[in-house]
């Protein structure tokens, strides 16, 4: 999954978005078709997608995690992504654990790393 998501991420094009004050920021964008195909793939293989979108600092001595912005590139907003995750009708331990984590992340307005101890989702932390 990592290779597929990385390859998709690297196909983005950059667009400068002015803020109106003489400054701006760069957004990474994808074609509509590319975005739709990646989103379909991610939803079909969501359990494999989960470890790819959980981010953390290394070394992660405080067990603090966030969700990669790849999620909002695919679902457009954090709220859309959250609603998708909560709507998944699958009681696997991985999905259940991710639902708990994403709820904590939402409580921090999707902007802060949150403390969480994963038991079922396997991350490649060093």
Q: Is residue 94 part of a domain?
A: yes
pTM of the model: 0.84
Q: Print the domain residue range for 108.
A: 32-115
Q: Is residue 51 part of a domain?
A: yes
Please give the average pLDDT of every successive group of 10 residues along the chain, which has 126 residues.
84 86 85 92 95 89 91 95 96 96 95 93 79
What is the DSSP-derived secondary structure letter of residue 67? E
Q: Burial level of 107, CB count in 10 A (0-12/13-18/19+)? A: exposed
Q: Is residue 76 part of a domain?
A: yes
Helix intervals (H) in 11-126? 32-44, 46-53, 70-75, 78-87, 93-107
Q: Is residue 19 part of a domain?
A: no
Give the pLDDT of residue 100: 97
Q: Is residue 124 part of a domain?
A: no
Length of the chain: 126
Q: Is residue 71 part of a domain?
A: yes
Angle, helices 46-53/93-107, rounded to nearest 10 degrees: 40
Q: How many separate domains does the chain show?
A: 1
Q: Is residue 126 part of a domain?
A: no
Q: Which residues contact 55 (CB under 8 A, 6 or more apart)?
A: 65, 66, 67, 68
Give the pLDDT of residue 126: 44
Angle, helices 32-44/2-10, rounded to nearest 10 degrees: 170
């Amino acid at each position: 999954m990592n290779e597929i998501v990385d390859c998709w991420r690297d196909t983005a094009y950059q667009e400068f978005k002015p803020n109106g004050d003489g400054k701006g920021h760069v957004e990474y964008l994808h074609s509509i078709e590319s975005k739709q195909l990646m989103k379909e793939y991610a939803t079909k293989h969501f359990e494999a997608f989960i470890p790819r979108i959980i981010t953390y600092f290394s070394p992660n001595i405080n067990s603090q995690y966030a969700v990669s912005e790849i999620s909002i590139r695919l679902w457009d907003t954090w709220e859309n992504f959250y609603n998708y995750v909560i709507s998944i009708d699958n009681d696997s331990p991985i999905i259940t654990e991710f639902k708990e984590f994403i709820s904590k992340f939402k409580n921090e307005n999707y902007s802060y790393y949150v403390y969480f101890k994963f038991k079922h989702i396997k991350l490649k932390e060093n």
